[in-house]
Amino acid sequence: MLTVKPFKIDVQSSVLDDLQTRLRQTRWPDAPDNIGWKYGTDPVFLKSLVDYWQNGYDWRKQEAALNQFPQFTVEIDGNTIHFLHITSKNPNAKPLLLLHGWPDGFYRYHKVIPLLTHDYHLVIPSIPGFGFSSKVAMTDDGSAKVFDKLMKDALGYKTFFAAGGDIGQGIAKSLANLFPEHVAAIHLSDVGYPDGSEDWSQMSPAEQEFGQFIQGWWYREGAYAMLHSTKPQTQAYGLNDSPAGLAAWIIEKFNTWRTPQGTLEDNFTKDELITNVMIYWVTQTINSSMRTYAVDTPEKLASSQKVTVPTGVAIFPGDAPTPKEWAERKVNLQRFTKMEKGGHFAALEAPEIWAKEVDAFFKSIPAK
């Protein structure tokens, strides 16, 4: 068994003092009048957020709330892995590994913890390169190997469920393909996207339409991923140095990938947005998190192969409109649901809806 150590978030006051100084000294760029989100992060919104960050936001309050959950670290293959481990009082509870993506972290799942702990032992890690885990960027397969050891060797779970989206879905698929004897089922909020290498003559009309949508999406929205994949170090100097810049880079994604209706603040509070950014800021992991894109070579990964273990898929309206045929091509599809609300960060944005759907799927899976 690996040695698991208790962990508590305790950011030094000097870090918070330095942050306040940097926020006060933000050098704002010019912007066209009433530009909104057209060219990226809305300058009016960001200035209001930074003002609240300075004058209303309380990190110590958020820190204390997060520390109410039992947290731990463990050394696996020379790297520190941070995770939450909330055990259920239910003797029949099943272990469930929850995997986040970019640009969020373990914080994505804090609202669903009380909704799932009756029936599940929850393990919620910071994936390598993120949050309070080591600043090392890993492929989907690399992270999957780490998390299999976390579940089996550190926590003693012989079989488990896994759920995730974004980078988390890739890791979940790698886990299922590399360790099918350990992974009873997985649940995903996306299954990956067409990349142009497919034989379109073998794709359904719905899949072809989806492929065209994804191609257009990359032109409109994919610049961040290209930067992460090719020049993450260049981007990191500014983002690691400027909290306003870091917030702008991250929050634009929360706005673009949310439920289409309403505004950003209809779906996330300022406290939630800032706390997510703060975890990147206090751990200085924006560079290693972006570098994750650069180390992945999808065509060589287990996550690129079709998943054979039972899989549930929920597609949220703020995410890409994945058709059922594409999901069937990628996974052993046992449940496919088009959700009415939620986006890329559905567990944070619409926790009750997300938790109910995930719970319904896993309860349909026979014991393994």
Span 308-330, pLDDT tens digits = 999 999 999 999 999 999 999 99
Residue 327 is encoded by which pair of tokens?
Answer: 């999901």
Name the DSSP class of 334: E
So what's the pLDDT on residue 299?
63
Distance CA 280, CA 233 (A): 16
User: Mean pLDDT over all residues of the chain?
Assistant: 96
For residues 335-340, give the mean pLDDT.
97
Q: Residue 368 has what pLDDT? A: 61
8 A C-beta contact, residue 164 and residue 100: yes
Q: In what order do the strands lie in the sheet with 183-188?
A: 4-7, 71-76, 79-86, 120-125, 94-99, 160-164, 183-188, 310-315, 332-338
Whether pLDDT at 198 is above 90: no
pLDDT of residue 359: 98
Quick one: tokens of 354? 């997300």
- Say whether 126 sits in a helix, a strand or coil: coil
Domains of the chain: 4-22+38-192+200-363 (3.40.50.1820)
In the predicted structure, residue 233 carries a pLDDT above the cut 70: yes
Give, rounded to a whole angstrom, the gap between the first and last alpha carbons of the chain. Answer: 22
What whole-number distance in Å separates Cα of residue 182 and Cα of residue 164? 17
Distance CA 288, CA 302 (A): 22
Q: Name the H helices within the chain.
A: 13-24, 43-55, 59-66, 113-116, 140-149, 167-178, 205-221, 223-230, 232-241, 243-256, 264-267, 270-283, 286-295, 324-330, 346-349, 351-363
DSSP structure string for 43-82: HHHHHHHHHHHHHT--HHHHHHHHTTS-EEEEEETTEEEE
> What percentage of the chain's residues is helix, strand, coil (to nearest 5)?
50, 15, 35
- Model pLDDT for residues 3-36, shown as the tens digit of each residue: 999 999 999 999 999 999 999 999 999 999 999 9
| The pLDDT value given to residue 366 | 82
Q: How confident is the model at residue 200 (pLDDT cuts 50, 70, 90)?
A: confident
Percent of the chain surpassing pLDDT 90: 94
Residues 181-197, mean pLDDT to the nearest whole number: 95
- The alpha carbon of 354 is separated from its chain's Cα centroid by a whole number of angstroms, namely 14
Which residue's entry shows tokens 């069937």? 328
Residues 332-348, mean pLDDT to the nearest whole number: 97
DSSP conformation class of 30: P
Residue 258 pLDDT grade (very low, low, confident, very high; cuts 50, 70, 90):
very high
DSSP structure class, residue 367: P
The tokens of 14 are what?
A: 């000097």
Please give the pLDDT value at position 358: 98
Beta bridge partners of 338: 315
Distance CA 264, CA 349 (A): 10
- The catalytic residue positions are 166, 293, 344
Task: Decide if pLDDT at 76 tops 70.
Answer: yes
- pLDDT grade, residue 201 (50/70/90)? confident
Tokens of 247: 């917030």
Could you tell me which of 87, 63, 66, 83 has the C-alpha nearest to residue 75? Answer: 83
Q: How far is CA 26 from the centre of its chain?
A: 28
Cα–Cα distance for residue pair 102/168, rounded to 1 Å: 9
- Residues 31-52, mean pLDDT to the nearest whole number: 97
Percent of the chain's residues with pLDDT above 70: 99
The amino acid at residue 39 is: Y
Q: How far apart are CA 256 and CA 193, in angstroms?
A: 18
Using the CB atoms, write b or e for 186-221: b if 16+ within 10 Å: bbbbbbbbbeeeeeeeebeeebbebbebbeeeeeee
